[in-house]
Amino acid sequence: MKIKIADLEFEPLISESLIAERTKTIGQQLNADYPNSVPVFVGVLNGSFLFIADLIKHIDIPCEIAFTKLASYYGGTTSKLKIREDIDLIVDIKDRDVIIIEDIVDTGNTLNYLVEKLKLRKPNSISVCSLLLKPAALQNPIDELKYVGFEIENEFVVGYGLDYQELGRNLNSIYKKV
Ligand code: IMP
């Protein structure tokens, strides 16, 4: 069923049950990959808030959860080169295993910026888990991107945390622009 958000129309792309299934699998992979560590999960607000909340329910190793807030779209449907930093990560990540949780990697500029910034704080390791990836839009490969929920076409999506003009984050599934 098509929905309208502000001036745009969207149609279903990834269902709630598919997201839940994939999230569980990624959680199990993370448990297996960090058996002797107490990793710090770093959620990138706003878009990752639902994904990290659901993912963390499947994590059964000891872990910490922290947030940072970056923005690159500012309400439109295309990525801006200039990244706006709204909330810094305040946890000390020196010698820690850091797992960045993203909603979507598009050009990869936001993630590159964050990874390079956090590397300066000398963590033991950094890996990235993104619910969505648009491979065709990625401008530079990101070695740290180890966990991806779904690869999608180069299309604009909303729902499950992702917004269009700050709307649509509350949708339980993911929709693409018609
Ligand atoms: P990048 O810097 O181009 O990789 O963009 C990453 C950020 O842009 C994400 O964290 C989202 O906040 C936003 N973004 C990228 N693609 C979409 C989309 O299709 N819908 C909504 N937000 C998006």
Strands 8-14 and 174-177: what pairing?
antiparallel
Q: At residue 19, does pLDDT exceed 70? A: yes
Cα distance between residue 44 and residue 155, in whole Å: 21
Task: Tell me which of 54-58, 109-113, 174-178 is least confident.
Answer: 109-113
Most informative mutation of 162, 164, 169, 170 for ligand 1 (most atoms within 8 A of CB) = 162
Q: Six-digit token pair at 120?
A: 């300066």
pLDDT tens string 120-159: 999 999 999 999 999 999 998 899 999 999 999 999 999 9
User: pLDDT at position 137, please?
Assistant: 94
| Average pLDDT, rounded, for the chain | 95
Instruction: Please state the domain extents for the chain.
Output: 3-31+38-68+86-177
Q: What is the value of pTM for the model shown?
A: 0.95
Cα distance between residue 166 and residue 56, in whole Å: 24
CATH topology of domain 3-31+38-68+86-177: Rossmann fold (3.40.50)
Distance between first and last Cα of the chain: 11
Identity of the residue numbered 122: K
Cα distance between residue 124 and residue 96, in whole Å: 5
pLDDT tens string 28-68: 999 999 999 999 999 999 999 999 999 999 999 999 999 99
- Ligand 1, residue 103: give the atom nearest the CA: 10
**Which residues on neighbouring strands pair with residue 6, listed in sequence order?**
none
List, as one string, the DSSP characters of 24-70: HHHHHHHHHH-TT---EEEEEETTTHHHHHHHHTT--S--EEEEEEE
- Could you tell me if the CB of 107 is within 6 A of ligand 1? yes
Q: At residue 80, does pLDDT exceed 70? A: no
Q: At residue 115, does pLDDT exceed 80? A: yes
